[in-house]
A and B are shown apart, each in its own frame.
Chain A
Amino acid sequence: MLEIKNLHASVEGEDIEILKGVNLKVNAGEIHAIMGPNGSGKSTLAKVVSGHPEYEVTEGEILFNGEGITELDADERAHMGLFLAFQYPVEVPGITNKTLLREAYNTIARANDREELDPLEFEDYITEKLDVIEMKDQFLSRSINTGFSGGEKKKNEIFQMAVLNPVLSFLDETDSGLDIDALKVVSEGVNKIANDKNAIVMITHYQRLLNYIKPDHVHVMMGGKLIKSGGFELAEELEANGYDALEKELVLNGEAQ
Chain B
Amino acid sequence: MSEELSDGVKELESMIGEEYKYGFTTDVEYEDFPKGISEEIVRELSRVKEEPEWMTEFRVKAYHAWKEMEEPTWFNATYKKPDFENMLYYSAPKKKPQLDSMDDVDPNIRETYEKLGIPLEEQKMLSGVAVDAVFDSVSIFTSFKEKLAEAGVIFCSMSEAIKEHPELVKKYMASVVPVRDNFYSALNSAVFSDGSFCYIPKNTKCPMELSTYFRINNMESGQFERTLIVAEEGASVSYLEGCTAPMYDENQLHAAVVELVALDDADIKYSTIQNWYSGDENGKGGIYNFVTKRGICKGKNSHISWTQLETGSAVTLKYPSVILKGDNSVGEFYSVAVTTKKQQADTGTKMIHLGKNTKSTIISKGISAGQSNNSYRGEVRISKNATGSKNYSVCDSMLIGQECGAHTFPYISSENPSSSVEHEATTSRVGEEQIFYLMQRGISEQDAISMIINGFVKDVLKELPLEFAVEANKLLDVKLEGSVG
Q: SS class of chain B's interface: helix, strand, loop or mixed?
A: helix
Chain A positions 67 through 99: 1 when the CB is less than 8 Å from some CB of chain B, otherwise 0: 000000111001100111010011111110001
Label chain A's interface by main secondary structure: mixed
* Distance in Å: Cβ of B183 to nearest Cβ of chain A: 38
Is B98 among interface residues, defined by CB-CB distance under 8 A? no
Among residues of B, the one whose C-beta sits closest to the C-beta of A100 is B441
Tell whether B434 is near chain A: CB-to-CB under 8 Å: yes
Q: Which residues of B contact A103 (CB under 8 A)?
A: 442-443, 447, 451
A99: chain B residues at CB < 8 Å are 451
Closest B residue, CB atoms, query A79? B442
User: By the criterion CB–CB under 8 Å, are A53 and B2 in contact?
Assistant: yes
A135 at the interface (CB under 8 A from B): no
In the complex, the answer to whether A53 meets B4 with C-beta atoms within 8 Å is: yes
Within 8 Å by CB of B440, from A56, A78, A101, lies A78
B72 at the interface (CB under 8 A from A): no
Which residue on chain A has the smallest CB distance to residue B437? Answer: A90
Rounded to whole angstroms, the CA-CA distance of A13 and B459 in the bound complex is 38
Q: Judge whether A84 and B451 touch: CB under 8 Å.
A: no
Give the contacting residue for B5; candidates A54, A75, A95; CB below 8 A. A54
Given A92-B452, A94-B456, A94-B458, A83 and B437 contact (CB-CB distance below 8 Å):
no
Residues of chain A contacted by B433 (CB below 8 angstroms): 90
Give the residues in chain B near A94, CB-CB below 8 Å. 452, 454-459
Query: How long is the Cα–Cα vector from A104 to B441 in the complex, in angstroms?
Result: 6
Task: Decide: B2 and A54 in contact? CB cutoff 8 A.
Answer: yes
User: How far is B8's CA from A23's CA once the two chains are assembled, in angstroms?
Assistant: 30
Is B442 a contact of A111 with CB atoms below 8 Å? yes
A75 adjacent to B431 (CB under 8 Å): no
Measured CA separation A107–B452 after assembly (Å) = 17
Closest chain-A Cβ to B467's Cβ sits at a distance in Å of 22
Q: Is the CB of A75 within 8 A of B455?
A: no
* CB pair A75 B444 closer than 8 Å: yes
Q: Does B51 contact A (CB under 8 A)?
A: no
Partner of A75, one of B4, B442, B458: B442
| Chain B residues within an 8 Å CB radius of A14 | 2
A1 interfacial contact with B, CB 8 Å: no
Bound-state Cα–Cα, A51 to B444, Å: 13
Interface residues in B436-485 (C-beta closer than 8 Å to A): 436-445, 447, 451-452, 454-459
Given A92-B455, A94-B454, A50–B440 Cβ distance below 8 Å? yes
Measured between beta carbons, the chain A residues less than 8 angstroms from B3 are 12-13
Do A78 and B439 touch (CB < 8 A)?
Answer: yes
B432 at the interface (CB under 8 A from A): yes
Chain B residues lying within 8 Å of A79, measured Cβ to Cβ, are 442
Write out the residue numbers on chain A whose beta carbons fall within 8 Å of the beta carbon of B8. 53
B485 smallest CB distance to A (angstroms): 13
Q: Residue-by-residue, is A43-63 near B (CB-CB < 8 Å gives 1, otherwise 0)?
A: 000000011111110000000
A168 and B3 CA atoms in complex are apart in Å by: 28
Q: Is A238 an interface residue (CB 8 A)?
A: no
Looking at the complex, which one of B431, B454, B456 makes contact with A90 (CB distance below 8 Å)? B431
Across the interface, do B445 and A75 meet the contact criterion of CB distance under 8 Å?
Answer: yes
Q: Are A92 and B440 CB-contacts (below 8 A) given A12-B3, A103-B447?
A: no
Q: CA A107 – CA B441 in complex, angstroms?
A: 9
A108 interface residue, CB < 8 Å from B? yes
Q: Which of A18-52 contact B (CB under 8 A)?
A: 50-52
Near A by CB (< 8 A), chain B positions 394-445 give 431-434, 436-445
A-B contact pairs, 10 of them (CB 8 A): A12-B4, A53-B2, A56-B4, A75-B442, A75-B443, A90-B436, A90-B437, A94-B456, A95-B454, A104-B441
With A74-B440, A94-B456, A95-B454 known, 20 other A-B pairs at CB within 8 A are A11-B2, A12-B2, A50-B440, A53-B2, A54-B2, A54-B5, A56-B2, A75-B443, A78-B439, A78-B440, A90-B433, A90-B437, A92-B455, A93-B456, A94-B457, A94-B459, A95-B451, A104-B441, A104-B443, A107-B443
